[in-house]
Amino acid sequence: MIGGGVIGLVTAWRAARRGLSVAVADPAPGGGAARAAAGMLAPVTELHHGEQELLALNLASARRYPAFTAELEEAAGRETGYRACGTLAVAFDADDRAHLRELHLLQQRCGLETQWLTGRECRRLEPMLAPGVQGGLRVDGDHQTDPRRLTGALLTACERAGTVFHRAEAVRIVRNGDRVTGAELADGSRVTAGQTVLAAGSFSGRLAGLPEEVLPPVRPVKGQILRLRVPAAYRPFLSRTVRAVVRGGQVYLVPRENGELVVGATTEELGWDTTVTAGGVYELLRDAHELVPGITELPLVETTAGLRPGSPDNAPLLGPTALPGLHTATGHHRNGVLLAPLTGDVMAEVLTGGRPPAEALPFSPLRFSPSLQEQST
């Protein structure tokens, strides 16, 4: 396994559960994009035009979350922070309301059940919302988990399942002819494997030793995100995840049961830059404050920037590549935490010689290397 972020770890754990011997190469397992992520499990409120196949994948993974969480918590002896709290998506002004109405129509066309609420009804659900809120969508099936606790639990579950960790970066794929036989690490050592999974998030696209057509077309998409703390006297500050369109900009607030309040996130195409900027923090706080004025009273605990692994169609690359012995599990973009349960199961199925479930078939990595796809069929 190349990469020990949430996707690498969930794949390692599920593969080990199926009886495979698994090794993970990562200088800091449990890190990666999930350290920054808010953990929204939001296939319905994050629906976009043209992404219906991705919606089916996202919904399939969201459905797995309760059973996946129970199994993981049992295996790791640790909680993950999964919370079935629902989501409210609200509009700040009249233009934002038109935007949200469009989303509502799209959801209805996709057969999703969501409920339109007036501004007053939104505030009845969440009294901390600003009086000017123009309306919103109640989405009772979009939930949340805590990505840091989730990756911590996955790490423990992997260790308990006998996974070997190599704490070094994989820098080059090792091949014997066309067949991939493992990876060379930054410390000069080599790990040999019958099957290798490239699950290095946004770094997956810059591994040496792969032909251009096989290298996953992923790029880093920066997200800055804030963590605040709601003192006990102010709780519950918000009872569910609140997303909003504020003067055309997107912001979300994810309240955890332990009092953490996550405010995110910027979307920036700036290569490998992970600087937290005054502008990024300002924009997030400005929009969050417009929406929930009381937020200025809360302690600001942490500012972070992470890199989402973006792909050309915003969807993941799951399964075998054109090179024998090499699979990818990367390109999850905004949905890495949401897609973790499904990704783990799809990859474990493929690694043990099975076929992926129907909803995963459109997400083969071969869709980005059509000439090689023809040769391999």
Helix (H) or strand (E) holding 116: strand 115-118
* DSSP track, 124-153: HH-TTS-TT--EEEEETT-EE--HHHHHHH
Strands 300-310 and 87-91: unpaired
Of 135, 264, 320, 331, the one binding ligand GLY (CB under 6 A) is: 264
Residues 276-335 that bind ligand GLY (CB under 6 A): 308, 334
Structure tokens at 57: 């994948």
Nearer to ligand GLY, 47 or 180 (CB): 47
* DSSP track, 18-63: TT---EEE-SSTT-SGGGT---EE-TTTT--TT-HHHHHHHHHHHH
Of 2, 12, 22, 40, the one binding ligand GLY (CB under 6 A) is: 40
Query: Exposed/middle/buried for 296, CB within 10 Å: 0-12, 13-18, 19+?
Result: exposed
Nearer to ligand GLY, 251 or 326 (CB): 251
Measured from the CB of residue 331, what is the shortest distance to ligand GLY in angstroms? Answer: 13
Nearer to ligand GLY, 180 or 199 (CB): 199
Measured from the CB of residue 270, what is the shortest distance to ligand GLY in angstroms? Answer: 15
Measured from the CB of residue 184, what is the shortest distance to ligand GLY in angstroms? Answer: 32
Nearer to ligand GLY, 327 or 332 (CB): 332
> Do the beta carbons of residue 86 and residue 44 sit within 8 Å?
no
Measured from the CB of residue 265, what is the shortest distance to ligand GLY in angstroms? Answer: 4
Residue nearest ligand GLY (C-beta atom): 334
Nearer to ligand GLY, 264 or 331 (CB): 264
Report the alpha-carbon angle 203-338-53, nearest 5. Answer: 90
Q: Does 7 bind ligand GLY (CB under 6 A)?
A: no
DSSP state of 376: H
Nearer to ligand GLY, 104 or 334 (CB): 334
Measured from the CB of residue 66, what is the shortest distance to ligand GLY in angstroms? Answer: 20
Tell me which residue of 141, 39, 167 sits closest to 88, measured CA to CA.
141
Nearer to ligand GLY, 46 or 96 (CB): 46
Residues 202-241 that bind ligand GLY (CB under 6 A): 223
Strand positions, DSSP E, 210-352: 219-229, 241-246, 249-255, 260-264, 300-310, 317-320, 326-330
Tell me which residue of 268, 238, 232 sits closest to 253, measured CA to CA.
238
Measured from the CB of residue 37, what is the shortest distance to ligand GLY in angstroms? Answer: 7
Q: How many CB atoms lie within 10 A of CB 141?
A: 18
Measured from the CB of residue 65, what is the shortest distance to ligand GLY in angstroms? Answer: 15
Residues 93-132 that bind ligand GLY (CB under 6 A): none
Nearer to ligand GLY, 36 or 292 (CB): 36
Task: Name residues whose C-beta falls within 8 Å of residue 269's C-beta, 6 or more positions apart in sequence.
Answer: 219, 221, 222
Residues forming contacts to ligand GLY in the complex (CB under 6 A) are: 40, 46, 223, 264-265, 308, 334
